[in-house]
Structure 1
Amino acid sequence: MPCLGSTIATAMFSRRFLLAAAAASTLWISACSQAVPTKISVTQAQLEQGLKKQFPKQFPIAGLLQLDMQQPQLLLLPVSNQLQTDWVVQLSGPALRQSFSGQMRVRFGLYYEPKDRSVRAQRVEVLSLQLEDANPAIAEMVQTYGQRVAQQALQGFALYTVKPEEMELMDNLGLRPGAITVTGQGLDVAIEAQPAAAAK
């Protein structure tokens, strides 16, 4: 005849095992039900809002002139994975008797800056910088110095900042923002695994 104490102990062990198994199953289901993000989608409207925070801006040229850049128009270029912006600009300064208005077109790529969670411009290329009614000397000065100043000034300017709650979720899952892809609607910021050293 089996020992009563042994039977009770076996029953208690089985009950504990079933409870532990049920708890583990609940945790697994909960973890699986939380979708792991694969990207952050940024709309064109969000990018334009980021530009509004950066401009208008004023840049000195050769210590004698000032280039004012107004709010730009944004164009998405998925084929080249770039953005293009068209600015209305104005050139003024003590070396001029009048101010000159014009247009500037810029194209650039993007990168992610982890220090402040921002998406920033890189490889800035000034495609054109033209002023209306400027004499040849002024036009030559703008071509010589203006494009270089604009290129240097625009390098690294921020268009978007990843939200703190998005970063918290990624940190908890051992993930981080990665490659940036320009789409027809905006940007896709890929989410990738952190390196082993960074994840610890």
Structure 2
Amino acid sequence: MMKAQSPQHSPQRRRLLAASTRLAIGGAAWFALPGAQAQPSYTVTTAQLQDAVAKRFPLRKRANGILDITVQAPQLRMMPEQNRLGAVMAVEAGGPALRRAYPGTFDLDFALRYEASDMTIRAHELRVNTLQFEGVPPEVSMLLASYGPQLAEQALQGAVLHTLKPQDLALPDSMGVQPGSITVTARGLVIAFVNKPVS
């Protein structure tokens, strides 16, 4: 007599249980909610984002051969209400047009995008909020106002905030899904997954 397979041991049940398990992968974590339509999500902490972007700095930018800006690693802040990240960067302005170096800060915020070609999460749609330099004479202030925003954007445009590894995508790939939307939370990022297009 053929016995009916108990629900708790069915292949579908086992797959869902496996998918709903939290897995530590490369310091990030996968989550999936149980259910027939369960999709995994991938989380990245603020500390991981901070460590990754710091590798790009210090960075030096020059404008028209007359102004040099040295930018230190940004201090990131999560902006979940806007689904963006904020960044404050300590900078130093100098160069042939300035007789001395002037310390200051750049404050920006930006959105995020996933680059499938190298499995990275990158900064884009940058917005410069403030450029602050103390004790600068009017002519220097005008120069910084002219070139500062462009240099501030260049410092973070396309910056890598996180890199996924092939093994990080093994579970969602087996489920037929791929990285989709990126949501900023108070603690970092949550990457949702969407069904792969039918080829």
| TM interval, short-chain normalised | 0.7 to 0.9
Task: Indicate the residue corresponding to 2:177 in structure 1.
Answer: 175
Q: Contact (CA 8 Å) 2:43, 2:189: kept in 1 or not?
A: yes
Task: Indicate the residue corresponding to 2:118 in structure 1.
Answer: 116
Instruction: Measure, in 1, the Cα distance between the counterparts of 2:184 and 2:104.
Output: 28
Q: Contact (CA 8 Å) 1:178, 1:189: kept in 2 or not?
A: yes
Instruction: Measure, in 2, the Cα distance between the counterparts of 1:89 and 1:102.
Output: 5
Instruction: Measure, in 2, the Cα distance between the counterparts of 1:136 and 1:43.
Output: 42
Q: Contact (CA 8 Å) 2:59, 2:70: kept in 1 or not?
A: yes
Paired amino acid for 1:55: F
Measured after TM superposition, the shift of residue 99 of structure 1 is 0.6
Task: Indicate the residue corresponding to 2:35 in structure 1.
Answer: none
Measured after TM superposition, the shift of residue 49 of structure 1 is 0.7
Task: Indicate the residue corresponding to 1:96 in structure 2.
Answer: 98
| Equivalent in 68, 71, 93 of residue 69 of structure 1 | 71
Task: Indicate the residue corresponding to 1:35 in structure 2.
Answer: 19
- Matched position secondary structure for 2:53: helix
Measured after TM superposition, the shift of residue 85 of structure 1 is 0.6
Paired amino acid for 2:100: Q
Which of 124-133 and 168-177 deviates more? 168-177
Task: Indicate the residue corresponding to 1:6 in structure 2.
Answer: none
**1:32–1:125: structure 2 CA closer, same or farther, 3 Å change rule?**
closer
- Matched position secondary structure for 2:19: coil
Instruction: Give the structure-1-normalised TM-score.
Output: 0.81
Instruction: Measure, in 2, the Cα distance between the counterparts of 1:99 and 1:175.
Output: 51
Instruction: Measure, in 1, the Cα distance between the counterparts of 2:136 and 2:149.
Output: 16
Unaligned runs of 5+ in 2: 21-31, 33-39
- Provide Cα deviations, 1:158-183, integer angstroms capped at 9, x if missing partner: 11112321112222221111101110
Residues 1-200 of structure 1: matches in 2 within 5 Å?
27-35=11-19, 37=32, 38-197=40-199
Q: Contact (CA 8 Å) 2:104, 2:134: kept in 1 or not?
A: yes
- Matched position secondary structure for 1:116: coil
- Matched position secondary structure for 2:54: helix
Query: Would you tell me which structure has more strand in proportion to its own residues?
Result: 2
Instruction: Measure, in 1, the Cα distance between the counterparts of 2:12 and 2:187.
Output: 36
Instruction: Measure, in 2, the Cα distance between the counterparts of 1:158 and 1:96.
Output: 32
Please report the RMSD computed on the Cα atoms of aligned residues, expressed in angstroms. Answer: 2.0
- Matched position secondary structure for 1:137: helix
Instruction: Measure, in 2, the Cα distance between the counterparts of 1:152 and 1:58.
Output: 10
Identity of aligned residues (%): 35
- Provide Cα deviations, 1:83-122, integer angstroms capped at 9, x if missing partner: 1111110011122221110011001111111111111111
